[in-house]
Chain A
């Protein structure tokens, strides 16, 4: 499908030159959101504030003032980012009605460069899921087939980009939540090195795993948006230094680069149609002058088990703050404090949040802590060592994003474990903190298929450069 949006840099340049009006871009975004309402990608629009910001930007352009690198460019934020002008619900009933008293640092940085948030996108409640079916409100439909899921948890953000609702969107990735929906819906999804973008003002899920990243229609757009968001932040002590060279100007030579194709991702679970798309991409990368070899990460098949101990453990801890006392849903009928806690949480949380809190509580409880939690943390070390070892031999790793294209709505909802398996090829990068990207690489029976590329920690600039080269070869 041809997009109505030119590249982000071009849009912003047009606004700065006075050739495009920020007000028109915002209206175009809002109209597309209304026209494509039946996909259920959006939880809320931010009309009043977006129009005000657009007017201010156009006025400043007219006065010859500086308006920024993303001047007037509309974007959509996953509804787990605190943003002014609409509720922040994380698609959960327990946060229904919550209006953020401050904004996420990532959003502040985008706004400082003139970008305009026009809407909040749907997600699996608290980002727990791979399909948006765990949203407490509704399920987003896949832009290519309304009977299928868009992926998740950033499914609303991915669908919104593919449906042209905005030039770009932002999401979060704890176990694949940017890359898998990008693959299922057909856009670029970038998961940066852990710590590169501040998470202040983003609803926490798994704190040792969560990252923020862009969903875009090209690698160039992703690099620009990342460049604006990446910075240390005193409100998030886990943030790391950005690359001194930035992320907007990318290296562009594939010659002599070594690419490792991850052996463990090509097992029998991989659907042949997905395998074919990935194999075809590998052939083109080889022809372009890169050295391609198979590489083994023997513990990678264990990554999902590690993830489904560590993630629920961190979830159970992070979600303990939703106690019905300070914000969000509160059980009005409770007789005392204890009933207020159990009632507010019991009725406010959806089933998947409760399921993860229960697993997390179990693996952290005395008597099981060593056997589960500590064991998983130690296998995590083993996995990190294997990634380090692999990156001594190759510059980049390559594989599929998910074993299948988008599945049918309802297909996996009765079996939580089967749903968890959608993350099997993406959790490795979260556990090791390395960056990863999903690129649209082709179609399998009319459904998009993504190609996943990974690089060592902090090699985001090199990875984006490689991704842009690859994008030119496969699209």
Chain B
């Protein structure tokens, strides 16, 4: 793995929707390269015949009856933390130019 360039870091930040400062971009390109270098030791492990593990409980298809459960929440309570609302809806910024 080569060192992450400034462009690589910017591309990742774009994918993750993160605004980074110039200082952070600089720092991350060094640090992330170092971390990725550390995890590269896994390439040497022999995993012949092994399948990936997604979860460890062994549970499959956990379902419950399809019925309404009343938790007693009022719409207003659930919207209390929303930065901007209008008519009981979440108000967001313009999406299309």
Contact between chains at B56 and A457 (CB < 8 Å): yes
When chains A and B are docked, how far (Å) is the Cα of A299 from the Cα of B97?
53
Residues of chain B from 55 to 93 with CB closer than 8 A to chain A in the complex: 55-57, 59, 62, 64, 71, 73, 77-78, 80-84, 90, 92-93
Residues of chain A from 352 to 384 with CB closer than 8 A to chain B in the complex: 354-355, 357-359, 361-362, 365, 371-372, 374-382, 384
Residues of chain A from 335 to 351 with CB closer than 8 A to chain B in the complex: 335-343, 345-347, 349, 351
Number of interface residues of A (CB under 8 A): 69
Contact between chains at A330 and B83 (CB < 8 Å): yes
Contact between chains at A326 and B18 (CB < 8 Å): no
- Residue ID in chain A nearest B41 by CB atoms: A305
When chains A and B are docked, how far (Å) is the Cα of A299 from the Cα of B73?
48
The residue from B31, B45, B56 contacting A355, defined by CB atoms under 8 A apart: B31
Knowing A308-B39, A337-B93, A346-B20 touch, does A99 contact B83 (C-beta < 8 A)?
no
Knowing A305-B42, A362-B32 touch, does A326 contact B82 (C-beta < 8 A)?
yes
A contact patch SS = helix
- Residue ID in chain B nearest A385 by CB atoms: B50
Query: B residues within 8 A CB of A238?
Result: 55, 57, 59, 62
B26 CB–A CB distance under 8 Å: no
Contact between chains at B90 and A354 (CB < 8 Å): no
Contact between chains at B52 and A432 (CB < 8 Å): no
Closest Cβ of chain B to A321, distance in Å, is 12
A-contact 0/1 string along B28-64, CB 8 Å cutoff = 1001101110111111010100111111110100101
Contact between chains at B77 and A101 (CB < 8 Å): yes
When chains A and B are docked, how far (Å) is the Cα of A247 from the Cα of B15?
45
Contact between chains at B35 and A240 (CB < 8 Å): no
A413 CB–B CB distance under 8 Å: no
A129 CB–B CB distance under 8 Å: no
When chains A and B are docked, how far (Å) is the Cα of A51 from the Cα of B18?
42
B95 CB–A CB distance under 8 Å: yes
Query: A residues within 8 A CB of B9?
Result: 358
Query: A residues within 8 A CB of B15?
Result: 361, 365
Closest Cβ of chain A to B35, distance in Å, is 6
- Residue ID in chain B nearest A299 by CB atoms: B45
Query: A residues within 8 A CB of B83?
Result: 324-325, 327, 330
Query: B residues within 8 A CB of A375?
Result: 42-43, 47
Query: B residues within 8 A CB of A126?
Result: none
Contact between chains at A305 and B59 (CB < 8 Å): no
Contact between chains at B35 and A359 (CB < 8 Å): yes
When chains A and B are docked, how far (Å) is the Cα of A354 from the Cα of B4?
16
Query: B residues within 8 A CB of A342?
Result: 17-19
A316 CB–B CB distance under 8 Å: yes
Contact between chains at A384 and B53 (CB < 8 Å): yes
B12 CB–A CB distance under 8 Å: yes
Closest Cβ of chain B to A329, distance in Å, is 8
A323 CB–B CB distance under 8 Å: yes
Knowing A327-B82, A339-B93, A433-B57 touch, does A381 contact B50 (C-beta < 8 A)?
yes
Contact between chains at A343 and B57 (CB < 8 Å): no
Contact between chains at A102 and B73 (CB < 8 Å): yes
A309 CB–B CB distance under 8 Å: yes
A469 CB–B CB distance under 8 Å: no
Knowing A101-B73, A340-B92, A358-B32 touch, does A347 contact B19 (C-beta < 8 A)?
yes
When chains A and B are docked, how far (Å) is the Cα of A334 from the Cα of B35?
33
A127 CB–B CB distance under 8 Å: no
Contact between chains at A433 and B32 (CB < 8 Å): no
Besides A345-B19, A358-B9, 11 more A-B contacts (Cβ < 8 Å) are A195-B56, A208-B54, A308-B39, A339-B93, A342-B19, A346-B19, A377-B52, A378-B50, A379-B47, A381-B52, A384-B56
The 4 closest A-B pairs by CB, nearest first: A346-B19, A433-B56, A377-B52, A327-B81
Contacts from B to A (Cβ < 8 Å): 4, 9, 12-13, 15-20, 24, 28, 31-32, 34-36, 38-43, 45, 47, 50-57, 59, 62, 64, 71, 73, 77-78, 80-84, 90, 92-95, 97
Contacts from A to B (Cβ < 8 Å): 97-99, 101-102, 194-195, 208, 234, 237-238, 240, 299, 302, 305-306, 308-309, 316, 320, 323-328, 330, 334-343, 345-347, 349, 351, 354-355, 357-359, 361-362, 365, 371-372, 374-382, 384-385, 416-417, 420, 432-433, 457
